[in-house]
């Protein structure tokens, strides 16, 4: 007998990962297509150096890829645990780094929204892993 999430939980986690994908796309799309504007919103000053613009765009490209990964997880939540592990660690590390920058006065108040959002998603991901484990689904 194959272990599986109950249908209700499958629907709940599908919805959570669709929201996680939308969250990533909401930041990543402006970050990829207007990195200087996104940087100005997040850090409160202009980003003019073309090398730094390219690096910042690349970082948002990674967030865009995680968004597509979360769409894969939404399709089959019990199958793509590795994507959630990587995306969750990315969210935690990004939130910690951004919080450190915020506490040092390097970011605008906009960063607080990003920090809190990523913390909420990380908590949902922990709940997801706990439910998979309790359902007997192998984690990785």
Q: Which residue has the tokens 């948002």?
A: 60
Query: Is 121 or 42 the better-scoring residue by pLDDT?
Result: 121
pLDDT at 1: 41
Condensed to tens digits (0 to 9), the pLDDT of residues 56-96 reads 999 999 999 999 999 999 999 988 999 999 999 999 999 99
SS (H, E, C) 71-126: HHHHHCCCCCHHHHHHHHHHHHHHHHHHHHHHHCCCCCCHHHHHHHHHHHHHHHHH
Task: Give the H/E segment covering residue 15.
Answer: helix 7-33
The CA distance from 39 to 36, in Å, is 5
pLDDT at 2: 57
């Amino acid at each position: 007998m194959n272990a599986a999430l109950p249908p209700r939980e499958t629907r709940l986690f599908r919805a959570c990962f669709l929201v996680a994908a939308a969250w990533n796309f909401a930041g990543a799309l402006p970050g990829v297509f207007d990195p200087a504007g996104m940087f100005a919103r997040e850090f409160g000053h202009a980003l003019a150096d073309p090398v730094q613009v390219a690096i910042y765009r690349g970082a948002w490209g990674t967030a865009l890829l995680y968004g597509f990964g979360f769409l894969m997880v939404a399709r089959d939540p019990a199958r793509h645990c590795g994507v959630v592990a990587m995306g969750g660690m990315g969210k935690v590390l990004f939130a910690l780094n951004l919080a450190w920058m915020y506490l040092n006065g390097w970011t605008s108040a906009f960063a607080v929204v990003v920090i809190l959002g990523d913390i909420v998603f990380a908590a949902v991901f922990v709940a997801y892993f706990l439910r998979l484990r309790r359902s007997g689904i192998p984690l990785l």
